[in-house]
Amino acid sequence: MENYNQYFDANKHLWNQRTAVHKDSAFYNLKGFKAGENVLTPIELNELGDVAGKKMLHLQCHFGMDSLNWARLGADVTGVDLSDEAIKEAKQLNDELKLKARFICANVYDLHPEFTESKAPPAEGFEEAAFDIVFTSYGTIGWLPDLDKWAAIIAYYLKPGGIFYMADFHPVVWMFDDAFTHIQYYYENRELIVTENYGTYTDRNADIKGKEYSWNHSTSELLNALIKQGLQIQQFNEFMYSPYSNFTNSVETSKGQWQIKGMEGKIPMVYSIRAIKQ
């Protein structure tokens, strides 16, 4: 694949900085999670259903709270993330909470033996068709330039009959500038998006600076990438709210539901996909 390493390295540096801020933020509510509170949203809880006894691969897991929440619900979870600081924190949380999740620091693309220079998976247990569920959520694929390779990784690790599930922010949202005053970016994946980053969504004044690199992906690009890998789409849902208050200029329209002020009910904020491997 084209060499994107300079972009991945820059993003990794930013996510290492973000992890230090995120883990102590009210946004993530790590204290509540440690006390037993659920941090998964009703969207994925309702749509993915019972995970007890299932082997789950969680792609782009950040510092592991969602992974560990699934582990509490009975899943055998392996979380993967690009940020070594995030994975370090995830492992510490796993040990502190006496759970049995595994966490591996790796670029998503390096999980597939055809795409990584090492030509080998990153750890024992990463065999082909090893997982019942592949899961990813909220702010993930925008950091990846090539969804065909991403979908190939999902298909590679799913067992026949296994479930792929994702919930993420809608591509319409990513067309706007940060303040949601105008459309700034293409709906389709036509360009590398370079942003000068200041702060983070949990603390706009945090001392975090640097360029970040991302790619927008249309709904058709996403669905077709999965379909080409033999995944049968069981459902595709759109939600007019975000379960998180991570966007600027957002208002809580119902408990736990945020929309952009002035655009309430006008643009989708989140979508979800459930697919099965044939």
What is the torsion angle, in degrees rounded to the nearest 10, for the CA atoms of residue 126, residue 131, residue 137 and residue 141? Answer: 50
Q: Band of the pLDDT at 160, cuts 50, 70, 90?
A: very high
Count the neighbouring beta carbons within 10 Å of the beta carbon of residue 248: 13
The larger pLDDT score, comparing residue 238 to residue 126, is at: 238
pLDDT band (50, 70, 90) for residue 195: confident
Calpha distance 4→11 (Å, rounded): 11
Answer yes or no: are the C-beta atoms of 12 and 81 closer than 8 Å: no
- Predicted confidence (pLDDT) per residue in 30-76, tens digit: 888 989 999 999 999 999 999 999 999 999 999 899 999 999 999 99
Predicted confidence at residue 42, as pLDDT, reads: 97
pLDDT (average), residues 164-168: 98
For domain 5-277, is the CATH number 3.40.50.150? yes
User: Cβ(70)–Cβ(40) under 8 Å?
Assistant: yes
The residue type found at 78 is: T
Q: What share of the chain has pLDDT > 90, as a percent?
A: 75
Q: Name the burial class of residue 186, with classes exposed (0-12), middle (13-18) and buried (19+) by CB atoms within 10 angstroms of its CB.
A: middle
* Mean pLDDT in residue range 174-187: 96
Give which of 107, 42, 29 is closest to 255, Cα–Cα.
42
Mean pLDDT rounded to a whole number for the chain: 91
Q: Are 135 and 59 in contact (CB under 8 A)?
A: yes
Angle at 31 between CA 27 and CA 33, to 5 degrees: 85
E strand map for the chain: 55-59, 76-81, 102-105, 131-137, 158-169, 193-198, 209-214, 231-239, 250-254, 257-260, 270-277
> Using one digit for the tens of pLDDT, what is the confidence trace for 87-134?
999 999 999 999 999 999 999 999 988 877 655 556 667 888 999 999
What pLDDT score was predicted for residue 161? 97
User: What's residue 190's pLDDT?
Assistant: 95
The dihedral through the CA atoms of 113, 119, 123, 127 has a sign that is: positive
Show me where the domains of the chain are located: 5-277
Task: Go through the chain and tell me how many residues it has.
Answer: 278
Residue 31 sits at the vertex; the CA angle it makes with 26 and 35, to the nearest 5 degrees, is: 140
Distance CA 270, CA 76 (A): 27
Please report the pLDDT score of residue 208 as a whole number: 66
pLDDT of res. 104: 94
Q: Rounded to two decimals, what is the model's pTM? A: 0.93
CB 62 within 8 Å of CB 86: yes
